[in-house]
Structure 1
C-alpha cells in the first residue's frame, strides 16, 4: 500500500508552484530596497572617508610646510606632494583634481579646514569641516 502512494506522487501542483513564486516575489520586494539603501549609504560613507583623508593630509602638509590662512590646497597638490595616495571615487570615475580642495582658515591660534569634493561637474561635499561630515551633507 505504501508503495502505491509513493508511486502516485508526481511532483508539485500548479497551485503549489504559484504559492512558491508569490512567496519569492514578496521576499524580493522586501529585500531589494533595503539592499539599495545599504549600497547608497556605503558610497556616502566612502565619500566622507575620502573628505576626512583630504583634511588629514592637508593638516599634515600645513604642519610640515606651513600654509597661509585662506590658502586652498587642491587634491592635485596633495597627491603631487605625496601627502595622499590617489583617491577613488565610489561612484566611479575620478574626483576633479583642482576643484576638490581643502581651504585652510585661521581663527585665533587655531586652523580651520573645510573640504570641497567635486566629481565631474557634480559637487559631492561643499565646504564642510570634519565635524560636519555626515551622510546628509553628501550629494549623490
Structure 2
C-alpha cells in the first residue's frame, strides 16, 4: 500500500491542468464582458453629462442676454457657448478627442428656458427620437436616445 500511495502523489495530470485552464479562461471572459459593459455605460452617461453641461452653460448665456436687453435666439450653438466662454470644449467619450465647436450641436430655447438638446459627436449623437432627427427635450433625456452616426 505504501507503494500505491506514492504512485498517486505524482501531481496534476494533464487533463486536470487543462480543466483548470479552461475554468480560468471562462472566468476571465465573464470578467472582460462585465468590465466592457461598465465602460460603455460610463461613456453613455458621460455623453448625457455633456448635454447637461451645455444646458447649464446655455442658461447662463440666456441670463446674460436677458440682463443686457438683447433678444434671445431660438437656438444656442455649442460654437457660441465655446466662443463666449460659457463652456470649455469637452471631450467626446467615444474618441477622447475634444469636440470641435460647431453649429451642428446646439440647445433650443423656449421663452427664457433651455428645453432641448442636439449633441452630435464623431461616432454617436444625441439628436433623434424614434429615428427622426430633432432635438431631444431635457425631460426625456436618457441613454436610450443615443444613436450611431451614419
Shorter chain as normaliser: what TM range?
0.7 to 0.9
Aligned twin of 1:131: 139
Q: For residues 65-84 of structure 1, what are the structure 2 equivalents within 5 Å?
A: 65-66=65-66, 67-68=71-72, 70=74, 72-84=75-87
Counterpart-to-counterpart distance in 2, 1:69 and 1:44: 29
Counterpart-to-counterpart distance in 1, 2:44 and 2:76: 23
Aligned twin of 1:14: 14
Give the Å deviation of 1:135.
1.4
Query: RMSD of aligned C-alpha atoms?
Result: 2.4
TM-score (norm 1): 0.79
Decide whether the 8 Å contact of 2:54 with 2:107 is kept in 1.
yes
- Flag structure 1 segments of 5+ consecutive residues without an equivalent: none
TM-score (norm 2): 0.75
Counterpart-to-counterpart distance in 2, 1:123 and 1:115: 14
- Flag structure 2 segments of 5+ consecutive residues without an equivalent: 128-134
Q: Which protein, 1 or 2, shows the higher relative CO under an 8 Å CA cutoff with sep ≥ 6?
A: 1
Give the Å deviation of 1:75.
0.9
Count of aligned positions: 131
For the structure 1 residues 74 and 112, does the alpha-carbon distance in structure 2 shift closer, same or farther, using more than 3 Å as the test? closer
Counterpart-to-counterpart distance in 2, 1:37 and 1:125: 20
Counterpart-to-counterpart distance in 1, 2:84 and 2:118: 19
